[in-house]
Every structure is written in C-alpha cells, then in structure tokens.
Structure 1
C-alpha cells in the first residue's frame, strides 16, 4: 500500500498476488454488470458500448447517484483505466493493472489518482473514503475470478 499527496495530486495504490490468471481477472473486469459482486461499494455499473478505451458509462457508488466515467485505456489481460471528471475541480483516475507472476498467478494493482486544482484540498479527505475498500474488493475480485474459471 502506498499513499502520496501534494503538488496537485493525491495517489493511493494497493497490490495483491492472487492464484488466478490475468485472463480470469480480465473477464471479471470486462463484465461490468458483475462488479457489485466483488466490490461492495458499487451498486451498479453500466457501459454505453464495449469494454474498450473511449467507452463511457456510469458507476453508482453506495450512497450516491450515478457518476459518469470514461474508459481511457483497456488492454486485455494487462489492465484498464477509467476517469471521472469533476469539471474545474478534480479528475478521479482509477488504474487497474494485471501482471502474470513467473510461478503462476497474477499481481493485481488498483490505484487511485486524484489530480486537478482542488486535489490538494480534496484528496486527503475524499481519497481515503474511496480507497478504504480497495483491499477487500481486490481479494473478492480474485476469489470471484477463480470461481468463474
């Protein structure tokens, strides 16, 4: 786990090693309708197209209304990035990386970057609220990926 704050950016990153393949995890990422099964903080996710860069959608976190996001990168079995822009305030960038481990399994990394003019003010409060469930969600993701086969 790593946290950085300052200079117009707030960052948090968490990594786990899981006994699943990158393809198994990727299948869970790409099936956004099932995200609430492994991320308790998410009530619903919709996409307006395929799971690829440029596609937009909405994510409904627990206790909030739907938030628009855009997939800005999506590389099968390697990871994806999505962004939610709050105009003139901050951009919330979620980076999800997958790396096959030499002995089998996958290193899964989830990262949140909050950047923009209000990042130094908002990041230290908002960031930990958003990332508090990263460890649990990532463990649940690995378990769900293994169940899917």
Structure 2
C-alpha cells in the first residue's frame, strides 16, 4: 500500500466547502489539475466521471462513498491496483474547518506502482486544497 495525506485549516464553513465539492462540473474552475470533467450522473455513490488533466488523457473514476457535509471518496480501479482518494471536512473549534485529501493506492500491484504514481497524483494537493479553501472563504 502507498498513502499520502494533506490537510489545512480554514475559516470557511464546511457547508461552503461542500458546495464546491458537490458541484463536480465546476471543479476545473478552481482545480488547475483538471482541464475537463465529464460526469455521468448526480453527485451520488456509483456515479462515474472522467477527469482530464492538462496535456493528458482522461482518467475514469467512480464515487464510492458520500457522507453529505463530511466526506466523499472516489476510486480509480486499474485492475492490479486501486487509487482511492478521500476528501474529508472536520468542524473544529472557533469556527474553523480542517480540509483533508488522502490518497491510498492498494491492491496486488500497489507496492510496485505506488512509489511512482502516488507522488504524481498527489503533487498538486497543496495547491488544489488552497484554491478550494480560497473559493469557499470568498463565499
């Protein structure tokens, strides 16, 4: 297994952050790692979507867990391994929220592909989370 986690704290309310996450069609507006997104249904467990990073081919993912206002998880199943990213909100004291992105690569080929693929997938997490937080703080 390979894993990486990045968290930040913000004054943005969980509801404001969740609105950004649950509106998948607008992800490219604040996530520079997505040039294009195609979503095959509502923001619901089981919905498939394709994200196209700049200069690359599309990546097929599926929403596998949603707890409204708290967490959603997407997965890319590549056969010999699965890339799972958990997006979590945690309400803290003093009107603060912790935003966490956590990626795990699991499965038979995880130890082989994780050390190369994992850092490539997660390299932009600090920038993506910062952009999400900025949008949510602006309202």
- For normalisation by structure 1, the TM-score amounts to 0.89
Structure 2 partner of 1:60: 52
Alignment of 1:40-51 (within 5 A): 40-51=32-43
| Residue segments in structure 2 that go unaligned for 5+ positions in a row | none
What's the offset of the Cα at 1:105? 2.1
Runs of 4+ in 1 over 6 A off after TM superposition: none
Describe the superposition over 1:76-130 as per-residue Cα deviations: whole angstroms up to 9, x where unpaired: 110100001111x211101000011111021000011111111111111111111
Q: CA deviation at 1:28?
A: 0.4
Out of 121, 133, 137, the position equivalent to 2:124 is 133
1:90 paired to 2:57: no
The reply on whether 1:143 has 2:138 as its aligned counterpart is no
Q: CA–CA distance in 2 between the matches of 1:10 and 1:34? A: 29
Secondary structure, counterpart of 1:114 in structure 2 = strand
Paired residue for 1:4? none
Aligned length: 139
Return the alpha-carbon distance in structure 2 between the equivalents of residues 23 and 80 of structure 1: 14
CA distance in 2 between partners of 1:37 and 1:18 (Å):
20
1 CA distance for matches of 2:38 and 2:24?
7
User: Greater share of strand residues, 1 or 2?
Assistant: 1
The answer to whether structure 1 residue 109 and structure 2 residue 95 are counterparts is no
Equivalent position of 2:115 in the other structure? 124
Tell me the C-alpha RMSD between the 2 structures: 1.1
TM-score (norm 2): 0.95
Give structure 1 stretches of 5+ with no counterpart: 1-8
